[in-house]
Amino acid sequence: MVSRARKPAAKKSAKKTFSTRKSQVKGGLVIDTRRPRVLIVEARFYEDIADALFEGAKAVIEASDFDYDRIDVPGALELPAAIRFAMNRKGERAYDGYVALGCVIRGETSHYDVVVNESARGLQQLALEHQLAIGNGIITVENEEQAWDRARKDRQDKGGNAALACVAMIGLKQLFSA
């Protein structure tokens, strides 16, 4: 696992209303003065595609005025375990949400089905059992052309969509925790 540089935190003094680019939580939801922190976990098996997914996720997180850290894992099967390890972080450095990014391209064996199903099951299990805000940005495709279409920020932007889901789930968690 490789830790990457993160966006530096800017000081905020006032409370802020939560919103996303596509929706707004009604009812005057106010988040605390600590900027939410998200961990982006990338499966780097297809490095160029992972970078494209990250660009979309980063744009949404920065537009949401959240802090983030970025780490790497070898492949999609390792994403749930990395998030589970990161849950141990407490206090000011705890994560409010997680974005899992990766790409699985179908090959000639049934390994594709195992990776796709088990990585998705692991992320969903973590979200439900531990009440985590997780955006699942693992794209599952037949070929590299489909992967690029889904990964690029100017196309389907699945990395951005996963980050948007994470941001929205952080807001919902705060709404129901208040």
Tens digit of pLDDT for each residue in 63-75? 999 999 999 999 9
Does 45 score more than 50 pLDDT? yes
With bands split at pLDDT 50, 70 and 90, how would you rate the model's confidence at 167? Answer: very high
Please give the angle made by the CA atoms of 51, 12 and 175, to the nearest 5 degrees.
80
Looking at the DSSP bridge assignments, the partners of residue 139 are 103
| pLDDT of the residue at 6 | 54
DSSP character string of 103-161: EEE--SSTHHHHHHHHHHHHHHHHHHHHT--EEEEEEEESSHHHHHHHH-TTTT-HHHH
Least confident among 42-46, 54-58, 92-96, 125-129 = 92-96
| pLDDT of the residue at 4 | 57
Among all chains, which residue has been given the structure tokens 């796709």? 116
Catalytic site includes residue 111 = yes
Does 86 score more than 80 pLDDT? yes
pTM here is 0.82
Tens digit of pLDDT for each residue in 92-151? 789 999 999 999 999 999 999 999 999 999 999 999 999 999 999 999 999 999 999 999
| pLDDT of the residue at 3 | 54
Q: What does residue 68 show for φ and ψ, rounded to 5 degrees?
A: -150, 155
Give residue 19's identity as a one-letter amino acid code: S
Q: Which of 12, 22, 89, 111 is catalytic?
A: 111
